[in-house]
Amino acid sequence: MRHVLGDAKPDTQAAIQAAKATARRMMGQVDRDPTALADFVSADYRWRGVRPFYEKSGPDAVSKEVWQVLHLSLSDFHRREDIFLAGKNQHASGEIWVLSSGQFVGLFDHPLLGIPPTRTLVDIPFAEFHRVEGDTVVESALFLDLVRLQQQAGLDPFPLQKGARRSPSGPKTQDGILLEAQDPEETNVTEKLLDRMIADLVTANAAGAVPCPPDVLRRTWHENMGWYGPAGIGSVTTIPRYQEQHQTPFRTQLDDKVFNGHVCRIAEGHYSGWFGWPNLNNRNVGGYLGLPSSNALAEMRVVDIYRREGDKLAENWVYIDLLHYAAQHGIDLLENPNALNPLKNGTGSGIKGS
């Protein structure tokens, strides 16, 4: 049976607030000292991350292979948080997840995963999910926009990017850090609006509508919507530019899309977020993002975070592990960030060796 988040009872609200407090203590401490992770997580702690981190188990591996690596590369490492919420997982009864999103900031003094240091202030956009049981974090997922860091280091792994080359902004309303409990009725309204948005897209897909009629979007989106995509796709505003710079290429160049569901979907107040592992499989038949066309079924691991304003969606923050998606096309953009750039790879084409 579908769980309706808006029906939260007092004990549920208390559990959500307790989960927030646990996750916030952990994040604050690990941001200062990555070796402190073991104080907050279970012995069989499960962790998911973007390429090349992927999946890890246990606090020692995550501390050494993720957090200590980030701290070593970025001096004065700290978190600039824009969004913070929690809720019951609509897809798994009894689970409570916490979501934090913003930018990791620091002085890029040492190489990170082969990305050359700039010795200047940089930011890495992130979305981080934590599943909390009692006072312990048992599962996490961390999506880092490493392509955005590559761009700040002067690299251009996706030279055909259509949207703006900028790190995503926080909510226009500056109200995304939900420390206090939110009205369950507002949460319910947000969930129902997202259900309608998804249903509209499913109907448009079934009708073969390419491009998607803009009036379909206008039923659930504000006209001046903000859509903040990952580096490689970029950020846009307004429905027409969203369709031109993201939705139409996505719908026309990718085929045989299969939706796999989400690991976690939560909402609180005017905000909602989800991620999948993977959310989507597709075939890149049209050279999407400058990658070579392929008949292979590739997976996309995606985060969506939404802000509702009134009866429509106003802002959407999107993370996609594009380095992992490129790797499924035989291209390692960490090892060779110029592979898709014909002006720099010396081949006269977008693909090295082609």
Query: What's the rounded Cα separation, in Å, for the pair 51 and 37?
Result: 21
Q: Does the bond joining 249 to the residue before it have cis omega, within 30 degrees of 0? A: no
pLDDT at residue 10, as a whole number:
65
Which residue stretches of 229-348 are H helix? 239-242, 248-253, 322-327
Query: What's the rounded Cα separation, in Å, for the pair 152 and 122?
Result: 7
Query: How confident is the chain (354 residues) per 10-residue block, as mean pLDDT?
Result: 45 96 98 98 98 98 98 98 98 96 98 98 98 98 98 97 95 98 98 96 79 92 98 98 96 93 97 97 97 96 98 98 98 97 63 41
pLDDT at residue 11, as a whole number:
86
Are the CB atoms for 37 and 67 separated by under 8 Å? yes
pLDDT at residue 127, as a whole number:
98
DSSP per-residue string spanning 53-86 = T-EEESHHHHIIIIIHHHHHHEEEEEEEEEEEEE
Are the CB atoms for 15 and 131 separated by under 8 Å? no
Query: What's the rounded Cα separation, in Å, for the pair 97 and 275?
Result: 11
Are the CB atoms for 49 and 67 separated by under 8 Å? no
pLDDT at residue 200, as a whole number:
93
pLDDT at residue 9, as a whole number:
66
pTM: predicted TM-score of the whole model, two decimal places: 0.94
Quickly count: other Cβ atoms within 10 Å of residue 275's Cβ.
Answer: 24
Query: What's the rounded Cα separation, in Å, for the pair 312 and 266?
Result: 18
User: Tokens standing for 6?
Assistant: 């808006």
pLDDT at residue 204, as a whole number:
84
Query: What's the rounded Cα separation, in Å, for the pair 51 and 39?
Result: 26
pLDDT at residue 202, as a whole number:
86
**Share of the chain residues as helix, strand and coil, in percent rounded to the nearest 5:** 30, 35, 35
Q: Is 69 exposed, middle or buried (0-12, 13-18, 19+ CB in 10 A)?
A: middle
> What is the side-by-side order of every strand in the sheet holding 96-108?
55-57, 41-49, 136-144, 121-133, 96-108, 74-88
Q: Could you tell me which residues come within 8 angstroms of residue 9 by beta carbon, excluding any fewer than 6 positions away?
A: none
